[in-house]
Each structure stands twice: as structure tokens, then as C-alpha cells.
Structure 1
Amino acid sequence: MLLPLAPPSRQDLIHALAHAGSTWVECATSDLGSVARGKQVHADDFVSAAGCRLPSVVWGLTVSAGESAEVFGPLLPKTYDDVHLVPDLTTLAKRPGRAQECTVICEPTGRLRHAGGEFDASALSPRAALRRVIAGYERAGMAALVAPELELFLLSRSAQAPGLEAALPSPHAPVQERACEAYSLERLSHFEPYFDELRTQCQALEIPWSGHAHESALSQFEVNFHPGEPLSQADAVFRFKRLAREVAARHGFLACFAAKPFLDQPGVGTHWHVSLQRRDRRGWPHVFATPEGEDSAALLHFIGGLQCEAAAAMALFAPYDMSFDRIRLSDASPSHASWGHDARSLAFRIPASGASSRRVENRLPGGDANPYLTLAATLSLGLRGLTQAQPPQSGAAESLALPRSLPEALDALTRSQALRELLGDPLWALFLALKRHEHAERSATANPRQEWDLRHLIELA
């Protein structure tokens, strides 16, 4: 059991703020949907409190700001008791464009009481769940390198028209994309001011941007990251999604990570590339390939572990009803837990690569998935496959079919002992309750896609 994040010493806090030259500190934490929640506090108060306090209600809110009776009382305190946000000083950085302000990623700690007893607030943290998985790899003598590919739409909409359309590069620009211009450098150049500012802000926060392009849907783009260790990469995606939306708002349009804004266009994915290395590098370090360049047995076992629990993991990889529009109307989004080499229709793809860069690409997660939960599930299930020598399954067998709806995925998550153990009971139960409440709320509307999906997910997913 991994302990909650330990509060930094007063001396370390003072030194970090002096180095940053900051008077104000933004304490940011991820809710279950990866929306950044927190506070801005004065540096003196930040040092005095070794972070800040935040009401526990944050972890019980739905994406529509709902407060479910199935959550408050049974799973979280009705009194909205405060938790302590403990900063991870390795993530502290100047906030781009804010001369006197820095930002730091925090995790919750502190005892919380509910109808079933009490637990530490760290059990609600998606980031802490990922740290537990990384610790498991350390005990197994391995380390992971991961790299995400993030797709997003740049969109416009008005109060007068409920529909969405391709963004104008600037409010009065005379040009607008009317049909998909896949990989168009000219269309990409129209948005250079946006991507230049976004890239500059990413550099300030050490987000490892490695390139971007127009993708294969109307007004859709993709940003790639250099490989890195899992926790820093999940932090980077958490920060990137927020930056992309904030910078887009300043340029007069929306950056959208919702899974399927247009039913007639490809959806939005966040694909994760994963490779494993042995921590003892005296021998051949690469877990997924032999020195001769062949796929290793460990690679196949890793994929087998992913396949065994893929149906349940879809609740994490596709956390909203709209997410399953991306699966049903696939446009190369996988509908089975398939695997193989190179084809982009596969769930678990082995890209063409040399022995030292052999990797698995998990193509199931949508752009709306929480990066901490996505990586925690991917790495945990892969490690489980490794330790159990789980062989992969081939073909399009019914056993490989993925859920076609959010309720199906939630039912599979309810039955999954492996993912329950990964998340821990507090986070597992809370995730299920929140997602079932969101599904019921959406189902109660006359036009779920228009009144719920496009209202709540376009700016928050």
C-alpha cells in the first residue's frame, strides 16, 4: 500500500518559491474527469499550510456539477469536509504569462468519514493510483516509458446556433475549413499563432511537445509528446488539455477533447505508446524485444493482460455516453480488443520499430479519458499479464468484443476484481456512482446529445 504524498518541509517550500520568484501559488489537482480543481493562495499561506485546504465535494461532482445522493453520505461526507492538498514540488513551475505566480500539482490527504466508515482522501486521487502502479513496476525491477498522441478539435459555436463548426483562425478571418483537409500544411499555418503560443506555454511547463499536424477529420489536429516516465507524462497531459482550452479561448475559439463532437467525422483519441525496460541494465534492457529484434514473450503477455480486462477498462478509457459514439461509429477506433502489427484499426498495436524502441500502442482511450486512470489501468493490466504469463487472443472472437455503451462498460468494471484492486474501493465505488449518475441525468433529457453531451462535454471532457 503506497502512503499518501508526504508534505514538503518548510525549508523546501521556501526554497522552491524563492527559486520560482513567486508571490502567488496555484494549487491544482485532478478530479475524476481530469478537470483541474484547486485554489490560488499567497506564498506565505502556502508555506504555512504546506499546500492548502480544499472541500472534499470536488471529488464528488459530476461533469455537469451534479451532487448525487448515491455519493454524498454513502461515499463522501455530506458535510463537504476539507482535505489537505499536498504539493509535489517536482511539478512546481512558473505559470506561463503570470510573472508573480507559479503552479504546482497536488494530491489530497486527510481522513474523511462517510456512512461506511473512514478513509484517507488520497484514496480518491487518480494520480495516487498511478503512483501505486509505478511502485509495482519498481518492485518488479522494471520501468516504463510512455508517449501520448493527443487529438483535439478546434471549434466555434454561437449562442444563437446550438451546432458546432470548424474554428475561424481569428474572429474576423476570411477563411474557414469546409471539408476535412487531412495533413494540410496550409490549413495548419492558419492556426500558427495559436499553436505558437500553446507550444511556448508547454515549454514553460516542461510539457514534452514533439510535433503536431492536421488530423483526419474536419478541424481536427494532433499533438505528439516525446517519451517519458509515466507520472510526468500523465501530469503533462493533465496540464496540456487545460492549456489548450485556455489559449484557444484567448484566440476566440474552442479546443475540444470530447470523444465524438461530429457523428459523421472520426472521433478524438489519446493513444498511449508504452515500452518497458529492466532497471538493471547490465544485460539486455528492453523487455518487449529480443536482442535479435523479435517480439518477446513478455510483449505478448503484456498484451494478453490488457485484453483480459479490456471490457472493464473501457469504463476508464471511454467515461461518457458520447465516448461510445466513437466506438460504434468507429472510423478506425477499435471495437474489439484486437492486437497485431501496424494496422490502426487494432486496439493494441505494435508499431514498426527496432528492438530498442519496441512498444505497444493502446488505441482505446478517448480524448475525454483521465490520463492518470488511463495509464494506471494500461500499466497495471499489462504487468498482471506479464506476471501471469497471459497469452494474447487473436481474431475477432466474441470474447474480444468491447462494450457498446457506458452502462455495459460500468457493469464490466463492477465485475472486475483486477481493476477494483487497482483503484481501491473508495475510488472504484466513487467512479461507478458518478458515471451512473451522469448516465441517468443524460438519459432523462429529451435530446441527450444536444442537451447534455454538447452542453457539458465540449469544454470539459
Structure 2
Amino acid sequence: MSGLPDTVRTVECAVADFSSIARGKIVGRAEFDAMRGCKLPSVVFGVTLTGGEPETVFGPLLPAAYGDLHLEPDLSTAVPVPGRTDRVSVVCEPTGLLPDARRFSPRAALRQVLQRLADAGLRATVAPELEFFLVERTTEGGLRPAAVPGGSGAREHALEIASLERTAQFAPYFDALFDACAVQRLPVTGHAHESAPGQYEVNFAPGEPLAMADAVWRFKRLARETAVRQGFLATFLAKPFLDQPGTGMHWHFSLQDTTSGRNVFSQPDGQASPRLAHFIAGLQHDAAGALALFAPYDHTFDRMNRGDASPTTAGWGGDDRSVAFRLPPASPANRRVENRLPGGDANPYLTVAATLGLGLLGMERADEPLPEAPALPRSLGAALDALDTSAALREVLGDALVDLYIALKRHESAERNAVANPRHGWDFVHLTEQA
């Protein structure tokens, strides 16, 4: 038996692929208990965001016969589905069919990195900051800031940064969203109007990396579903408006000694430890390849290439929001690194796995920060080339996952770039509701 409450009649088996969308199925309680999860066709993990089936995937990487995988539940993640008293949602990982189907799972990749940290006597604490836009589609195929709920037609026409009044006008949306977050135990701590029309940021409490990646993945779904119910869209699209700042997903990372609990980025006298520099250097050395994970679509590079406080090099520094790896003002116990490269459309599991994995490698090798900030790739294709040749990221994530990711992203990129007006004809069509 699963140990779920007797009131549960159906179970939502949810699994993360490389996108932000939860895949899976809803099964009856008896079937879930009998199967200890559920089955799902392996084709789900080999199709692109638009349902494309790359020839480089089926056969070379995944079975061409589309056999079933088993979704193995992590019962510690079971939470109610908002609005339902008889259904829970459980995060699962794919197993079976292949020698180890988990090798294609972003969540399993993160767990492996966390095990490497534990083997080194370390644990991590992370805290995400997630930006997104509330928008609606125009008749011309573009996007604009969403109208205020209630039918008045009021909307933001120019930047109203940090406006409590505009934020309050969307209170029905945020109240419903945070109620859903409370039901699913997502540790959101607050929200504010951000630096572009229709843009908001939500903050999360610091926590254990796997739980926080689960929280961000679930939050993105709740944000989108709640918006649709209120008549507009919530999108994590990286750059909805070319003349405005884009959508970031910034993560704060600190490391603690598992025995003493001490922050290893600080020395006993309160000064920064050499391990902090080594961690940052590990990120710098493979930032080019990691950018393929932090900026997963061609569209994401509109955010990277049009500044607006988005980093364009793998630089690091103090309280400077233009660098990739920022050191926010903090006490020695809370000293941390903020990774400002990821866009809101990045996969949270791969983002955290790559950051912690590369940082750990930098510490193990005692890397030193580079004297000049390395330039970052200016296109998805260049970033994918760097990922393909990155021995460090292949060590951190595994060859199977890296090869599958690259195959899917190259197929998506080719499809997108074959469209006459890709920003309106592919990005806004496919990414607005799925990124």
C-alpha cells in the first residue's frame, strides 16, 4: 500500500522532462497501489516541445518501439491537488525499459549531484527568485500586459515598477495562486511588481535543493493554471517585450559542512574562504556549456543579447546585478553565490544540478577565478556546441542526458528557425504557455 490517506481516490503521477510542463497521467488509487506508480510511453521523453520526433533520438537514444516506462513515485512529494479533496499529485521519476531510464531524468540528475555533495561532506541550501509576466494575446499575434481582472479594461501601458497599486489590482490572481501554493506546501514568501510592464517576481524561502527545484517546477504550473482560470496568461517566456527587461530565474547557493553546519564559503574569522573562489571558478570554466541549460531556446538569447541587467559574460563580483555570479551582501553564516544566468524558461532541476555540480568540481580541483570574464555564447547553437564538448557537464549530468537534451534542442531550433517570423510564428505560439 502507498500509505496515502484513505480519502485519496485518484493519483496524479507527474514527471519532469526538459521543459517546464508536467507530464504524466491520472490513475485510480487501486491501480497506483498495485503498480507502485504507473506506466507511461517512453515516446513522451523523446519528443520536442512541439511534438516533433527527431531521428537522432528514436533508435540511437530511446527505443523506436515506444515501449512503456514505469513512473516511480517519490511519496514524500505527495500533495493535494488544489480544489480536490480526493486527489493527490506525486512527483515521479522514469524507470525500467532501458538499463536505467533515470539517466534521462533531470530530477534524478540533481539527486546524483546531491549525493556527490554528501560524499564530500557537504550539503547545499538554495533560494530561488522567479520572475514572470501576466499577459494576453493581441489580434496581431503578439503579447501585451494583461488587463486587470473584473472587466474594467484597466491595464499597464508603461512601466509601473514596484507599484503596490497595480499589484493590488491583481490581488484576486495572487490570492488564488498563493492559496494553491499553500495547499501544495510551496514556500513562497512574497511578491512584487518587477522592472517591466506586466512583470512580477515571487520569492521563495531557502531550502534543500531537491525540494526547492520541485517547488519551482510546481509553482510554474500553478501560476499558469491560475491565470488561465482568470482570463489571462502567466508566462515565463524569456523576453516578451524586446524593449523591456526579460524573465530571470535567479538562484542563491550556499554550502554547509554536514558535520559542523558551518558555511564553507566563510572562514572562522568571517572572511571569504578560498572554497568560495573555487566554486565560482568551476562555474566560470564551463559557463558556456551550462548556458545551453540556463537559456534553453533560441528565444532565450533575446534576453541574453539585449542586456537589461542580464549578464553577457561569466563575470563575478559583489553587489552587482550585471554579473553572472553575484555575491549579495550577507553575514558570514549566510554568504552565498547568486547565479543570475538562468532564464525563467530554464528547467529548475538542470539549473541546480549544473550549478552545484560545476561548483563542486571547481572546489575539488581548486580552480581559481579567471582573470577576465569569459564571453558567453550568443546563440543556442553555440551554447549547445559548448555543452556537447564539456567534459565537466557530461560528468555532472551523464552522457545519456546530455546527448538527449542536445538532440531535442537542435531539432526545436531547426524547426523554429525555418519559420519566416520566428518570434511571432514560433516563440509566442509555443513558448508563451509552455516555457
Q: Normalised by the shorter chain, which TM-score bucket?
A: over 0.9
Alignment partner for residue 91 of structure 2, among 96, 100, 105? 105
Shift of 1:393: 1.8
- 1:16 is paired with a residue whose SS is coil
Q: Does 1:129 align with 2:109?
A: yes
Q: How do 1:351-430 residues align onto structure 2 when only pairs under 5 Å count? A: 351-396=328-373, 400-430=374-404
Measured in 2, the distance between the counterparts of 1:140 and 1:312 equals 24
- The one-letter amino acid paired with 2:124 is A
Q: How do 1:208-227 residues align onto structure 2 when only pairs under 5 Å count? A: 208-227=187-206
Q: Which residue of 1 aligns with 2:228?
A: 249
Contact map agreement 2:314 2:323 (CA 8 A) in 1: yes
Q: Which residue of 1 aligns with 2:4?
A: 16
Measured in 2, the distance between the counterparts of 1:245 and 1:286 equals 36
After superposition, what is the alpha-carbon deviation per residue over 1:260-280, rounded to whole angstroms, capped at 9, x for unaligned? 111111010100000111000
Alignment partner for residue 311 of structure 1, among 284, 288, 292? 288
Shift of 1:420: 1.1
Measured in 2, the distance between the counterparts of 1:49 and 1:371 equals 28
Measured in 1, the distance between the counterparts of 2:79 and 2:432 equals 28
Contact map agreement 1:338 1:394 (CA 8 A) in 2: no
Alignment partner for residue 250 of structure 2, among 264, 271, 284? 271
Q: Which residue of 1 aligns with 2:124?
A: 144
Q: Does 1:70 align with 2:42?
A: no
Q: Which stretches of structure 1, 4 residues or more, deviate above 3 A after TM superposition? A: none
Shift of 1:79: 1.3
- The one-letter amino acid paired with 2:19 is G
Measured in 2, the distance between the counterparts of 1:293 and 1:140 equals 22
Structure 1: 5+ residue runs without aligned partners? Answer: 1-9, 113-118
- 2:4 is paired with a residue whose SS is helix
Q: How do 1:268-307 residues align onto structure 2 when only pairs under 5 Å count? A: 268-281=247-260, 285-307=262-284
Contact map agreement 1:194 1:251 (CA 8 A) in 2: yes
Q: Does 1:453 align with 2:427?
A: yes
Alignment partner for residue 20 of structure 2, among 18, 34, 53? 34
Measured in 2, the distance between the counterparts of 1:124 and 1:246 equals 27
Structure 2: 5+ residue runs without aligned partners? Answer: none
Shift of 1:308: 0.4
Q: Does 1:440 align with 2:414?
A: yes
Shift of 1:425: 1.8
Identity %: 57
Measured in 2, the distance between the counterparts of 1:295 and 1:218 equals 38
Measured in 1, the distance between the counterparts of 2:153 and 2:381 equals 44
Contact map agreement 2:67 2:97 (CA 8 A) in 1: no
Q: How do 1:45-124 residues align onto structure 2 when only pairs under 5 Å count? A: 45-112=31-98, 119-124=99-104
- 1:161 is paired with a residue whose SS is coil
User: Over aligned residue pairs, what C-alpha RMSD do you find?
Assistant: 1.0
Measured in 1, the distance between the counterparts of 2:387 and 2:310 equals 21
TM-score w.r.t. length of structure 1: 0.93
Measured in 1, the distance between the counterparts of 2:158 and 2:58 equals 46
Contact map agreement 1:339 1:394 (CA 8 A) in 2: no
Shift of 1:101: 0.7
Shift of 1:371: 0.3
Measured in 2, the distance between the counterparts of 1:291 and 1:172 equals 59
TM-score w.r.t. length of structure 2: 0.98
Measured in 2, the distance between the counterparts of 1:244 and 1:173 equals 22
The number of aligned residues is: 435
Measured in 1, the distance between the counterparts of 2:184 and 2:269 equals 39
Contact map agreement 2:68 2:97 (CA 8 A) in 1: no
After superposition, what is the alpha-carbon deviation per residue over 1:299-343, rounded to whole angstroms, capped at 9, x for unaligned? 111000000000000000001001111110010000000001010
Q: Which residue of 1 aligns with 2:149?
A: 170
After superposition, what is the alpha-carbon deviation per residue over 1:108-146, rounded to whole angstroms, capped at 9, x for unaligned? 00023xxxxxx3211110000000000001100010000
- 2:381 is paired with a residue whose SS is helix
Measured in 2, the distance between the counterparts of 1:448 and 1:169 equals 29
Shift of 1:349: 0.2
- 1:305 is paired with a residue whose SS is helix
Contact map agreement 1:17 1:43 (CA 8 A) in 2: no
Measured in 1, the distance between the counterparts of 2:399 and 2:68 equals 20
